[in-house]
Amino acid sequence: MTAMRSKSCLVVAMSMLVLYPAVAPSRAFAQENEPTATPQATSDSAPETTPDEATPRRKRARPTVEAGKASPDEPDANRFGGPAKDNHRLQTGLAITPGTGYRLIAPYKENQACGDRSGQPEKRVCSSFVPFYTEFQLSFGVSSRLDFLMDLRFGIQTDPTQAGRRQFVFAPGLRFWLDQEVATKFYSTLQFAYDYMNFVDANYAKSDYGVRNVNGFMYDPIRNVGFFIQVGETIGFYRWFRIDIDLGLGVQVRFP
């Protein structure tokens, strides 16, 4: 019995000696090829951050603007020029307008010379040209849609109604702007017209009175300059009944 046990133990021991050399190399090979964490894998899972990115970025300091001065990106509103304004409120304007036109006169009495171009003084209704003139205008924008204005007209040519005399007209009034927020603005005026002419003939009054309306449009390329074209109608009724239609082109300079 004892001999049989000894034989069994010997057989088991010899089996272990045979199996261990076969298993050990496989286990060592498996341990050598087992995947391990590499620095590259670690960097993929957690991206590196530079010192500049790790710290919060500071906001760029904006240039400060002193009171009463425009920023570097915006033009100075108090300087001559700059973008066109929506209206002419609180601006003083000086304009010059040369022009001429056409005139109809109906004297209140017969056989009165009225400067007809046909040279027939006895005609009941006379027609002639409006003498070439230069008109100077002073205006002030009292609101966004309303200007106060005063026109002074000086005749360059002698008036056909009186040889050797030149026209002088004083016409204060109001100008109404029909458009806003655009560079090209339409306008209309309502004015009182005082026309002075020193007639040699005692049958004529030296002064004439009437009303005047001007319709036109102005283009402002910048805030201080405007170019305009206008058509005016003047009705006089004191010396005689007169209708003048004139066309003028002009330029305006405004301050501030």
CATH of 92-255, one of 3.20.20.80, 3.40.50.10800, 3.30.70.1050, 2.40.160.20: 2.40.160.20
Q: With a cut of 80, say whether residue 240 has pLDDT above it.
A: yes
pLDDT of residue 182: 83
Q: With a cut of 60, say whether residue 255 has pLDDT above it.
A: yes
pLDDT of residue 206: 85
CA distance 84 to 135: 25
Q: What is the pLDDT of residues 130-185, one digit of tens each?
A: 999 999 999 999 998 999 999 999 999 998 888 788 999 999 999 999 987 788 89
Q: What is the pLDDT of residues 56-83, one digit of tens each?
A: 555 555 555 454 454 545 555 556 677 8
User: For the ranges 105-114, 212-221, 225-234, which has the lowest average pLDDT?
Assistant: 105-114
Contact between 94 and 252 (Cβ < 8 Å): yes
Q: With a cut of 60, say whether residue 31 has pLDDT above it.
A: no
pLDDT of residue 135: 97
pLDDT of residue 42: 46
pLDDT of residue 86: 78
CA distance 149 to 39: 86
Domain spans of the chain, in order of start: 92-255
pLDDT of residue 35: 54
Q: What is the mean pLDDT of the chain?
A: 78
* Structure tokens that stand for 73 in this block: 């990106």
Region 218-239 average pLDDT: 95
Percent of the chain with pLDDT over 70: 66
pTM of the model as a whole: 0.66
